Amino acid sequence: IIFTPVFKTATSLNFLNGLKKLSIYGNEDQGVTTTQKSIKQFLKGLEEYYSQSYFFRKELLHYNASIKLGLFHYSPTKKAIIGKGGMFFEGHGLRQIEEDEIGYIDTISDYLGLSPFTDQELEQWQIVLEERYYWLKEQGISFIFAMAPDKSQIYPEYYPDKINSIKVSQESRRYDQLVNYLKGKSIIPVVDLRKALLDVKEKIAAGAVPNHMLFYRTDGHWNA
């Protein structure tokens, strides 16, 4: 069972034809170095092509994820964390930030206060935002900076116990750092939206408003 996909992939016509497109030969006039480089490129290309052409790839990935989720209640990807009650939280890894910009996100470290802003980064935030504030003021436009909290700040009790057992440094969280820094050193109006969400959460708990989650269970955004 284990070696059937390997054998089927290695003997498939599409795979063999794909290998023909990968060349390990360099330019003879450029010497051995180019040949060695070509071999490395060939091996890298072979690995990428093999992983994409692997037979039953989608099915194996699907069953691997299903077993981890259903049987062990464990996330098959480090980019997502499964909390209590099936609540999903963002984990860590590369993520598309804007258009073609890719960045590394580590929500857990930030939640625990392990990746605070430096003084220089906070100062840079202030400079950029105040430039926007004054430019818009010249156009007769008011500028208000609103901070949107993530799910971990509203529903931290749904985190797995192994995370909540770690001491949290709230003052070192980037959200708290930036809000406190701007309120203390800048003229920019800052709106901290956590208070509004936490107030509604308390009303839900008290039965004052209909019971509902403020964030989607398997998504990082608040609901409609």
pLDDT, position 45: 73
Torsion angles phi and psi, residue 77, rounded to 5: -135, 145
pLDDT, position 20: 65
The count of other CB atoms within 10 Å of the CB of residue 119 is 9
pLDDT, position 26: 46
Residue 127 CA to chain centroid, in angstroms? 27
Rounded Cα–Cα distance for residues 82 and 158 (Å): 9
* Cα-trace Rg, the chain: 25
pLDDT, position 183: 95
Tokens of 17: 């034809």
CA distances from 210 to 202, 217, 218 (A): 12, 17, 21
Q: Which residues contact 79 (CB under 8 A, 6 or more apart)?
A: 90, 91, 92, 93, 95
**Which parts of the chain have pLDDT scores under 70?**
13-37
Rounded Cα–Cα distance for residues 125 and 148 (Å): 16
pTM: 0.70
pLDDT, position 25: 47
Q: Tens digits of per-residue pLDDT, 37-61? A: 677 777 777 777 777 777 788 888 8
